[in-house]
Structure 1
């Protein structure tokens, strides 16, 4: 009995202890997880809340939400280009999802392909997407979308090249890409898109100039609306 007690005391001395800073960080992590779970639970209980929630931008993921005027312009284009029973894919542009879904209603299918798993709250309309594995898509998604709208997260040749691979795998016909003007040559070469007069803007002004590219008369649609 005595030996047993001594042995356990020695074992307890060997157990590592957390520093105050590490413990505080761990508490904050679990608190954030709990807050996120509470949001998910509320959303599951009330679908209408999904239309009102807007997650904060995650700059580590290069997330920059569109200005409201840009959202409305793109929604008009999507509404015009997608026929009843059609399908639209939104690639790495999550703030478009709810407005597009609201506008199209039940007349068309809207899929969100996104890396940020916070947007899993949109249920079966959410498809996890990592541009580093551009071909990793559900079989049923291949060449099944009448319109693909994409906003690659990073202004790099690697990102636009891999995202373009995904777009080609998804698209049946029409394509819209919103990205930095500096990527124009890449977009034209990879996807044969033309730069538009319409320019997307963000809620937080960005240093880089952004442009919109399409393989149809996007500007004409906006002029007529």
Structure 2
């Protein structure tokens, strides 16, 4: 049932019983029973074309939970202020293994560029400013970075992505000294980003990171870097 629910979330325009059966690799009667149970509790529904979609009750619970989370409530004014002041998108993300999870996102009132990030979505740690900043607190030197990478290759999201232990360790060392992280078109072509830590639960270990992301042609990385003291002050003041 959880596999069916997870798969439903990937199909905004709905999915048929046959398609779902193939996606979760289970017998059709089993999938049908799971969908029927989800529909009974409002976690799934059938649209006008007879395809299954996420139900309104699931969406209600998800958004209600998100809006009530303490970190979301505390960070929302920060993101709103940053998006308003700089006219760019502000994020709050936390570390989860080798990915970052976006807990909150605020677009500017006008002129927002659509980014791949979504609330609840993930991006690789090694290619994002928020991820590298949080990773700098977890991995203290190059051997630690090499152990963390292990045998898996680091995905090259763009030509600028750091994909070796040496390069990533050097960047993490710079981040620890500077107190902020940079994504210079490393996760998305044409997108630059700066990130600073957020200390909500500990004075020494960040609970997450706040970032400001922008299209490089509109707001240069140098412009964002010049605003680091103001961005940090906004976070700390809130």
Query: Normalising to structure 1: TM-score of the pair?
Result: 0.35
> Larger % of helix: which?
1
Specify which structure has the bigger relative contact order, considering alpha-carbon pairs within 8 angstroms and separated by 6 or more residues: 1
Task: Give 1 or 2 for the bigger CA radius of gyration.
Answer: 1
